[in-house]
Amino acid sequence: MNISELQIFLDTEFPQMAQEFEIVSISGSGEGALVLFNATEKHLRPGNTVSGPWMFALADLTAYIAVLSVLGPVAQAVTTNCSIDFMRRPDSGLLMCRAKILKLGRRLVIIDGRIFSEGSEELSAARFSMTYARP
Amino acid sequence: MNISELQIFLDTEFPQMAQEFEIVSISGSGEGALVLFNATEKHLRPGNTVSGPWMFALADLTAYIAVLSVLGPVAQAVTTNCSIDFMRRPDSGLLMCRAKILKLGRRLVIIDGRIFSEGSEELSAARFSMTYARP
Amino acid sequence: MNISELQIFLDTEFPQMAQEFEIVSISGSGEGALVLFNATEKHLRPGNTVSGPWMFALADLTAYIAVLSVLGPVAQAVTTNCSIDFMRRPDSGLLMCRAKILKLGRRLVIIDGRIFSEGSEELSAARFSMTYARP
Amino acid sequence: MNISELQIFLDTEFPQMAQEFEIVSISGSGEGALVLFNATEKHLRPGNTVSGPWMFALADLTAYIAVLSVLGPVAQAVTTNCSIDFMRRPDSGLLMCRAKILKLGRRLVIIDGRIFSEGSEELSAARFSMTYARP
């Protein structure tokens, strides 16, 4: 699937959330994705930082995009495990999430990623790994 | 903090999300919490199951309630790590989340929990562990 | 498999490690295991506490025993993921590990467990979750 | 600490394990480490692949070296959390582990790493993240 097919798939399957996220790129060899998220007032938690659930949503969606870009529109692919480290508290504004497929197995897909404020990739706000089960 | 103080705290600090969740109980000895979530159409993902981000939000909020019930209104306590296993796909309807404090350290609080459809605690939808850093 | 079959299987398949561990019980309904480990000088790390790798070995072996007790001698079952929290530093002496199967799926088995000094189950040294892929 | 200081520290503090591992490099800016492990017969599990506990030991030691190279000889730094994904089953022979410090906080150090057979870094056998608490 290319970017516009992916964005349409998101809009259809996740109508409540898709408009929050913009797919920036998928790698030509189909092994990763980069997604943009504009964190505003409603995504914050006490301390004026982006809430954990919104960080998780960004990570999960970016990993899902990476999976879809390789496997095609398999809406039934499900996350089976996530481990996430929240390292630095991002301010509101533009957040990016980069996900990379580390293993594309017959049954499981393992993905690694980072969330960072635009322009600060080296000082990531979070790192995560996710496992998806193929249907 | 007791249940009504906690509910007011949530309503104030998380106005966008608090109305989705109802605190059912906190343990007398202050070491855990049980929270109810009514999963409706808007919380579902493809496959008609509750989305990962909403499951994460329920886990994170329940763990946070358990922490607050012991430490008081420390809004600045932050999640530093979460590991979550999605084990069974819950249908829409009433979900419960039970969190228990395993360690209340000077710097870190470690919490363990389960998410399950009401009445099916033995067949949990998810298990998770979370670490909070004390401010 | 019953306890003596499991112990023989371990002795055969893990000759270097099996003698460190003693299977105490497997649950009648086949959903868990309890294993004893005698931590001595050689298992310690700086600070006179049991080393992380030995804690991991105890967790992994106990989870594996729980899997074998249900599935039979499937030596090829492999750990695909582990998340472990080291919560308190155990002294040398008798450590116990209790593992419980949370989900026995067609492809994945998810296990949850605790490590604790004998007699101190409520103050666990570690908690862990493990995923095994069925062959 | 430089490589020879680190190797002496290991030999002193971990006499049972240190001889299994060789520190290949630490990054000049002190933010990572690369460690070599020669997996032989005694490190294998059924299926003729390196056992999980030895993979964990390699990950933990490499992360610890990265921490020591920055903080100095703080033997009391302890692992508080590890999440590890076993992705491909490595054969016996030379394994490498590369660890990188993602966050060096006042209280926690977060490290990310990979284990791979020599010459196959792109097809990692495992990925892991570890958190260390500073003493």
Does residue C52 sit at the D interface (CB-CB below 8 Å)?
Answer: yes
Which of B99, B104, B90 shows the shortest CA–CA distance to B127? B99
DSSP strands (E only) in D17-77: 21-26, 32-39, 44-45, 49-50
Estimate to the nearest angstrom the gap between the alpha carbon of D85 and the chain centroid. 14
Q: Is the pLDDT of residue A8 over 70?
A: yes
For D16-32, write each residue's pLDDT tens digit.
Answer: 788 899 999 998 666 89
- Give the pLDDT confidence score for residue D31 in this predicted structure: 82
> How close A23 comes to chain B (CA, Å)?
18
Residues of B in contact with D83 (CB under 8 A): 83
**D100 close contact with A: CB closer than 8 A:** no
Residue ranges of the alpha helices (H) in chain C?
3-13, 52-71
Number of domains within chain A: 1
| Nearest Cα to Cα of residue C1 among C102, C89, C99, C73 | C73
Q: Rounded to an integer, what distance in angstroms lies between the CA atom of residue D44 and that of residue A52? A: 40
- Which range among A83-97, B71-85, C65-79 has the greatest average pLDDT? A83-97
**ipTM over 0.85 threshold:** yes
Query: Of the ranges A83-87, B11-15, C3-7, D76-80, which is most confident?
Result: A83-87
- CB of A103 within 8 Å of a chain D CB? The answer is yes
B31 alpha carbon, distance to own chain's centre: 13
Q: Which pLDDT score, from 0 to 100, does residue C10 have?
A: 87
* Mean of per-residue pLDDT scores for chain C: 91
- Which chains pack against C, by 3+ Cβ pairs within 8 A? A, B, D
Which residue of chain A has the CA closest to D108?
Answer: A87
* Paired strand residues for A20: none
Task: Look up the domain containing D100 and give its range.
Answer: 3-133
Interatomic CA distance for residues C26 and C100, integer angstroms: 10
The CATH number of whichever domain residue A75 belongs to comes to 3.10.129.10
Inform me whether the C-beta atom of residue D51 falls under 8 Å from chain A C-beta atoms: no
Q: Would you say how long chain C is, in residues?
A: 135
CB contact under 8 A, D53 and C52: no
Rounded to the nearest angstrom, the minimum Cα separation between C49 and chain B is: 18
pLDDT at D63: 95
C-chain residues near D46 (CB < 8 A): 13-14, 75-76
Q: Is the pLDDT of residue A83 over 80?
A: yes
Residue A28: is its pLDDT beyond 80? no
Of residues B46, B75, B80, nearest to A85 (C-beta): B80
Mean pLDDT of the region A111-133: 94
Cβ of A102 and D85 within 8 Å? yes
Supply the pLDDT for residue B15. 80
CB pair distance less than 8 Å for D129 and A83: yes
Alpha-carbon distances, residue D88 vs A104, A127, C112, D49 (angstroms): 11, 21, 23, 10
> Would you call C85 and D89 a contact, using CB atoms and an 8 Å cutoff?
no
User: Other C-beta atoms within 10 Å of A120: how many?
Assistant: 13
Using a 10 angstrom Cβ sphere, with 0-12 exposed, 13-18 middle and 19 or more buried, the burial of residue C105 is middle
Percent of chain A at pLDDT exceeding 70: 97
D87 min Cα distance to partner chain C (Å): 7
Spatial contact of C6 and C13, defined as CB atoms under 8 Å apart: no
Q: What is the average pLDDT value for chain D, to the nearest integer?
A: 91
Q: Do C80 and D76 touch (CB under 8 A)?
A: no
Is residue A106 pLDDT above 70, yes or no?
A: yes
Nearest to B107 among D81, D83, D107 (CB): D107
How far is B35 from chain D, CA to nearest CA, in Å? Answer: 26
- Identify the H or E element spanning B49: strand B49-50
Q: Provide the number of CB pairs (under 8 Å) joining chain C to chain D.
A: 84
